Structure 1
């Protein structure tokens, strides 16, 4: 497993990061309830197998159901072998407003304490804001709270999880945040415009949505009629896959890994087959210049439509 520096944090992470949402709560296409998930003991064994296979970077969040608790049980006797990334609870209230400074501090510190307890550790390697919009990124008090936690040693580095390009740009330009986790994949390539700026500023890039919630796998077929254009576009990758890739997911993973600015990429893993496939993909060669050019040219023409939370609300992913 190749390892890369996580920006200027001094932390080295595996190219493949274990995305922990699927082991903690029902998530993804075709996963509707606990009955569709692996058991806790199976999840612990899967995490152990990932470590033994060279993965050292594990992503979770306070909002990922039992994910933190399961990781805590899996890593209690091997904490030194793993890099843990987790995210605090959402900061906005039910009206969408940000609370005052004292309340923000309480939310962030309480959420971190909950995470430390669940993870059975006394520090987090990467502590992140979950869904950091522009208003949150422009709030100096929030950045100050995270900076204080870093100075106290409760967290080794601080980061933000963003969605929009303008959010990522703002996070980089503040000069405060060490790591940005962002969505990027074969279909939606908009965030690549900021990769060079991130590298120049020493900001580590962690990519999620690499497989677009499973659409860039064999699951990207027989989709809801509202997603007909998406499904038709997915078939455009077939010719490129046939140039030397066992499947679309392998192409999707190697595409993201081939960007030098990307420190690590998250893949949601909830069974041994997915882990094996992800390992085979990440441990293969990066894409050639020609293949990269062809893949870049196949980006979806209307990336703003690739709004998976909206699709979920509309029932299009059931």
Structure 2
């Protein structure tokens, strides 16, 4: 199972198509239980995801998983140590599978090297298995790999945003033996919608292309989106969040059905960052 459970919804309202708000603690417990039964073995969370770490730590089911979390904004080794201690305490674990910088900026300041050295010591002490960063652009990743020996990276990847599947990126990741986790599999839920919000009307032709594919293959939009999980062989985990057990079951089913689709996914790749980068959606929000 290449799906990892994204836990941002356990602590925050998240996603352009999220109308239900933050997941209740009871529902979070049910989601964790059913995810474990389905073969999911990894959780993705962050210090900045509201109460997400606390919810996971308070739930017995959360202890069945490997956990990857992300640091809050820090500016010193002391702040790093306090942040790591806080996450371990909230999660009620002694070891993290992965610890990521939410952004790479801090690594390219004078404190970057001392931070990386402290993280390497955490690895030697068995507190973390891998450290790395969440990245947003291919150039940012290449710059990171050129300067640091990281073990884990999280990057955006879906059927429309395939920037990180380029030969240059793939070869660099393999050469540096970096484990890859992908996020934004459903583009904040957009790719599992049969009809997109009117704010996205300028890309109606792309929506129609996807709709034609789902019709031709007789699959759901989510199954089409999930097909990339089985074609991107260099990605170890695809992080995906759910707001209910029912959504989780639908996602697991779509994941397995996606393995049967033989598509030329490269033909769906888009370059328009206004569409594929949710950080650029602010100009659209008035009409979302």
Aligned pair count? Answer: 284
Is contact 1:62–1:86 with CA below 8 Å preserved after alignment?
Answer: yes
Larger relative helix fraction: 2
* Residue in 2 that maps onto 1:182: 155
Alpha carbons of structure 1 residues 107 and 287: separation in structure 2 relative to 1, 3 Å? farther
Q: Is the 8 A contact 2:136 2:156 kept in 1?
A: yes
TM-superposed deviation, 1:184: 1.0
1:17 partnered with 2:10: no
- Give the secondary structure class of the aligned counterpart of 2:115: helix
Give the RMSD, CA atoms, in angstroms: 2.3
Q: TM-score, normalised by structure 2?
A: 0.89
Q: Is 1:145 aligned to residue 145 of structure 2?
A: no
1:121 match: secondary structure? coil
* Distance change (3 Å), C-alpha of 1:188 and 1:67: same
Structure 2 contact 12–21 (Cα < 8 Å) conserved: no
In the alignment, the residues of structure 2 paired with residue 146 and residue 312 of structure 1 have an alpha-carbon distance, to the nearest angstrom, of: 35
What runs of 5+ residues in structure 1 fail to find an aligned partner? 3-14, 92-98
Q: Partner of 1:257: helix, strand, or coil?
A: helix
Does the CA contact (< 8 Å) of 1:18 and 1:266 recur in 2? yes
Residue 258 of structure 1 deviates from its aligned partner by 1.5
What's the CA shift for 1:210? 0.7
Tell me how far apart the structure 2 counterparts of residues 317 and 30 of structure 1 sit (CA, whole Å).
13
Q: Is the 8 A contact 2:17 2:190 kept in 1?
A: no
Q: How far 1:60 sits from its partner (Å)?
A: 0.2
Give the aligned partner of residue 98 of structure 2.
126
Preserved contact between residue 14 and residue 22 of structure 2 (Cα < 8 Å): no
Which residue does 2:44 correspond to in 1?
59
Q: State how 1:1-318 maps to structure 2 within 5 Å.
A: 2=1, 15-31=2-18, 36-75=21-60, 79=63, 81-91=64-74, 99=75, 104-133=76-105, 136-137=107-108, 139-193=112-166, 194-218=169-193, 220-224=195-199, 227-284=200-257, 286=259, 291=263, 293=264, 295-303=265-273, 305-312=275-282, 315-316=285-286, 318=288
* Alignment check: 8 A CA contact 1:214 1:220 kept: no
Shift in Å, 1:285:
5.4
Deviation of the 1:197 alpha carbon: 2.4
Which 5+ residue runs of structure 2 have no aligned equivalent? none
Q: 1:280 to 1:30 in 2, by over 3 A?
A: closer
CA distance in 1 between counterparts of 2:213 and 2:42 reads 30
TM-superposed CA distance for 1:114, in Å, is 1.0
User: TM-score with structure 1 length normalisation?
Assistant: 0.82
Tell me, in whole angstroms, the C-alpha distance in 2 between the residues paired with 1:210 and 1:198: 19
